[in-house]
A and B are shown apart, each in its own frame.
Chain A
Amino acid sequence: MTYQEALIQELGSLPPALLQEALDFVLFLKIKARTPEEQLSSKIREFQFQEELQALSQTYQMRLSQEGKLEQSAEEVMAALKQSREEIAANEYRL
C-alpha cells in the first residue's frame, strides 16, 4: 500500500468532527508550503479570525433562535438598536 492509499484509508475512517480538523491541518500545510515564513503568521491569524467570526456568528444566531428573535425583520432589529442607543446614552450622559 502506498502512503497516499494509506492516508486516504485513514482519513475515511475518521469521525466527521476529527475529519474537519484533519482538513484544516491539510489547509494549514498547503498555506505553509506556498507562503514565505514571514507571511505565514498573518495568514494563520487571518484564518483564525475567519474561524472566530464564524463561531461568534453561529453562537449569536443560536441564542437569538432560542430567544425567538432570529426571524425579526431588519426594521425591528433597527428599532431595538435605536432604543438601546438612546437608553445607554441617557444613562451615560445626563446633560
Chain B
Amino acid sequence: MNDEWIVFDTNIWIFGLRKQSDCYQLLQNLHKLYVKTPYQIFLELQANLIPEELKRFFRLVHLNPNHTELSWEKAKPEMITKYRKLGCKLGDAAIATHLEMMGIKTLVSENRDFFEEVKGLPFRVLRAQEALQKFGIGE
C-alpha cells in the first residue's frame, strides 16, 4: 500500500465519476491512498461540477480527513514561468508548480501527452491502471 502523498489530475476525478473502470477504482480506494488536491485542480473540478455535486465532493474529502487534503495556495508565478520555459502550457505549468510546491512525486493522470516532451520534471506521471498496480489496489 502507498504511504506517499500523490495528486489525482482532474481527469481521474471526472472519468471516475463517469465510472470509467480504473479511475472509479482509484476513487473507491481513496481511503487507502494519500491524495492532495491543489488549487488549480480544485478550480477545474469546480468548473465541471454543479454546487450540489461540489457539496458531495467536499463530503467525500471530509469523510477521509487523514487521507485527502485540499490546498488553497496559488501557484507561484516565478515557478510557472520556469515550467513555461521548459515547454509546458500555462495550465500544465500551474499543475507542475503546485506539485513542486507541495513536494509531490507522483501525479496520476489519464492525459497521455501530459509532460511527455518536458524533461527534468521533479515528479512522475502514472496512468490510472499503472497507479492501481503500483499501489497494490484492485482485484
Contacts and interface: CB of A to CB of B under 8 A. Distances in A.
Contact of A52 (B43, B60, B84, B111): B60
A77 B91 CA distance: 17
A57 B10 CA distance: 15
B60 A56 contact: yes
B119 interface: no
**B interface bracket (residues with beta carbon within 8 Å of A):** 35 or more
B11 interface: yes
B94 A49 contact: no
B20 interface: yes
**A interface bracket (residues with beta carbon within 8 Å of B):** 20 to 34
Nearest to A47: B63
B28 interface: yes
B19 A57 contact: yes
A57 B56 CA distance: 10
Interface string B83-94: 010000111111
Contacts of B37: none
B5 interface: no
Interface in B13-64: 14-20, 24, 27-28, 30-31, 40, 43-44, 47-50, 52-53, 56-57, 59-60, 63-64
Interface of A: 45-46, 48-50, 52-53, 55-57, 59-61, 63-64, 70, 74, 77-78, 81-82, 84-86, 88-90, 92-93, 95
Closest 4 CB pairs of A and B: A85-B91, A89-B91, A56-B56, A49-B63
